[in-house]
Amino acid sequence: MSSSSTVERKHKKSLLSKNIFLSGGIILIVLLVFAAFWVQSIWDQVYLLQPGDKEGSIFSLDKDKDPFPDIMNVLVLGLDSRDVTERADTIMLLSLNQKTGEINIISIPRDMRVKIPGYGLDKINHAYAYGGLSLTRKAVEEFLDINVDYYMITGFEGFTKIVDILGGIELEVEKKMRYYGIDVTIELDPGYQYLDGDKALQYVRFRSDEEGDFGRVRRQQIFLKTLFQEIIAFKNVLKFPRILPEIAHNLKTDLELNQALKLANRLKNVEIEEINTFTLPGRAGYIEGISYVLPEEKEIRKLVDRYLKGMEAVQS
Taking the C-alpha atoms of residue 306 and residue 118, their distance in angstroms, rounded to an integer, is 29
CA distances from 140 to 47, 72, 110 (A): 22, 15, 12
At 221, the amino acid letter reads Q
- The CATH H-level superfamily of 71-315 is LCP protein (3.40.630.190)
Residue 43: CA count within 13 A, CB half-sphere = 15
Q: Is 56 a residue whose pLDDT tops 60? A: no
Q: What is the mean pLDDT of the chain?
A: 80
C-alpha 238/C-alpha 208 separation (Å) is 38
Tell me what the mean pLDDT of segment 261-272 comes to.
Answer: 72
Cβ atoms of 276 and 105 within 8 Å: the answer is yes
Tens-place pLDDT, residues 222-240: 898 888 888 877 788 788 8
Using CA atoms, how far apart are residues 184 and 178, in angstroms rounded to an integer?
10
Ranking 10-14, 25-29, 226-230, 288-292 by mean pLDDT, the lowest is 10-14
pLDDT tens, position by position, 140-149: 999 999 999 9
> Looking at 31-40, 268-277, 290-299, which range is the least confident one?
31-40
Considering 31-40, 55-64, 99-108, 140-149, the range whose residues carry the highest mean pLDDT is: 140-149
What is the pLDDT averaged over residues 45-63? Answer: 53
Strand 88-97 and strand 103-107: the pairing is antiparallel
CA 179, CA 202: separation in Å to the nearest integer? Answer: 9
Predicted confidence band of residue 241 (pLDDT cuts 50, 70, 90): confident
AA identity, residue 297: E
Kindly state the DSSP code that residue 313 receives in the 8-state scheme.
H
Helix (H) / strand (E) containing 301: helix 297-303
pLDDT at 106 over 90: yes
- Give SS3 for 299: helix
- At 183 the pLDDT is 80
Per-domain boundaries in the chain: 71-315
299 to each of 74, 305, 306, how far by Cα in Å? 21, 10, 11
Residue 299 is predicted with a pLDDT of: 95
